[in-house]
Structure 1
Amino acid sequence: MNDPRVGPGDAVARLTVTTADEMRELGRRLAKLLRPGDLLLLSGELGAGKTTLTRGLGEGLGVRGAVTSPTFVIARVHPSLGDGPPLVHVDAYRLGGGLDEMEDLDLDVSLPDSIVAVEWGDGKVEDLSDDRLHVVIHRAVGADAAHVTDPSADDVREVAVTGIGRRWAQADLSGLAG
């Protein structure tokens, strides 16, 4: 899980998540650190837990509507039920291009007042902000999982949360571990 984009001043938290409920709880804890203008890139294999994490973000932010995968609609806006920022949840899986293809979503317009979480956003939305959180969820699949004999180990995820840029340089991500 080494990321060449991580610089020496970037904040990093690494943790192990063993259930879907724990992934949602991680999202709720992460929501406490967020403010309008924050961009999150969520990376991981299919079924790794990106949408589950985002569901927890929505719960922690107190937004309206069920947070589900926006794969076919590309993006969903979940307004706050209180005075907090809306959550813009994007699934860029079906988008092949970079930021140019994403322009129709007006994420650059939404970002200053919202929290924007982009699944499959690597190489597509980094130019939206110099400051972002990159959440990488790794789950053992294929040959990596072949040595695992415990059936419950299928739910185990290794998560790395990296704060990139000045916004996150002094951030304390240690609270994400619970």
Structure 2
Amino acid sequence: MKHGFPERGQRRCDTADETKGLGREFGQALEAGDVVILDGPLGAGKTTFTQGVADGMGVNGRVTSPTFVIAREHKASAGGPALIHVDAYRLIGEGSSGDPLGELDALDLDTNLESAVVVAEWGGGLVEQIAAEYLVVTIDRETLVSEDPDSEGRIISWEIAAPM
């Protein structure tokens, strides 16, 4: 990540637009070789956040959940890094070969790190193995909904980590 972006933090986002806005800030700070792991329950806003990241990076193409294709590459429009958007759930869940590291390796993500940013939904415990350091973004949708069932809000926390 570019120097000056906080290595850890937390922000409340009350709407999907605010979630995209925070993602946009991340996208503007991300550099080729960065790996971002998005953690949060189904429907937390991981793809919404990634749409903001894509906007901040200035990549081409509509960002949708890569659930059925596992990974989508979005090329940069102005010479910046590409965005590789991964849904690792299928690598570790039902329908996987039982060898998630083998399936991850088959995506050949590590060879793209020199010219791309990898954002992985459901990637914890797996995707961090392709980088010396990575950013974990946790999206908590439950806290604000428990306070107000009509809330669209989420609390987004992030920190830089390294594999053990």
TM over 0.5: yes
Which residue, out of 95, 118, 121, partners 2:120?
118
Which residue, out of 73, 76, 84, partners 2:72?
76
How far apart, in 1, do the equivalents of 2:71 and 2:85 lie? Answer: 6
**2:134 equivalent to 1:132:** yes
Letter in 1 for 2:123: G
Give the fraction of aligned pairs with identical amino acids, expressed as a percent: 43
The match for 1:89 is 85
How far apart, in 1, do the equivalents of 2:7 and 2:54 lie? Answer: 23
| Greater shift in the superposed pair: 125-134 or 48-57 | 125-134
How far apart, in 2, do the equivalents of 1:76 and 1:14 lie? Answer: 28
The match for 1:18 is 14
| Map 1:1-178 → 2, pairs under 5 A | 11-96=7-92, 97-140=99-142, 145=145, 147-149=146-148, 151=150, 153=151, 155-165=152-162
How far apart, in 2, do the equivalents of 1:149 and 1:49 lie? Answer: 17
C-alpha displacement at 1:149, in angstroms? 4.2
Query: Unaligned stretches of 5+ in structure 2?
Result: 1-5, 93-98
Question: After TM superposition, what 4+ stretches of structure 1 lie above 6 angstroms from structure 2?
Answer: none
How far apart, in 2, do the equivalents of 1:32 and 1:81 lie? Answer: 14
Instruction: Using structure 2 for the length normalisation, give the TM-score.
Output: 0.86
Paired residues, number: 151
How far apart, in 1, do the equivalents of 2:112 and 2:100 lie? Answer: 18
C-alpha displacement at 1:71, in angstroms? 0.2
How far apart, in 2, do the equivalents of 1:69 and 1:150 lie? Answer: 25
Query: Unaligned stretches of 5+ in structure 1?
Result: 1-9, 166-178
Q: CA RMSD in A?
A: 1.8
**Local SS of the residue matching 2:85:** strand
Instruction: Using structure 1 for the length normalisation, give the TM-score.
Output: 0.79
C-alpha displacement at 1:131, in angstroms? 1.1
Asked whether the equivalents of residues 39 and 117 of structure 1 are also in contact (C-alpha less than 8 Å), the reply is yes
Letter in 2 for 1:162: E
The match for 2:3 is none
C-alpha displacement at 1:12, in angstroms? 1.4
Letter in 1 for 2:109: L
Asked whether the equivalents of residues 89 and 118 of structure 1 are also in contact (C-alpha less than 8 Å), the reply is yes
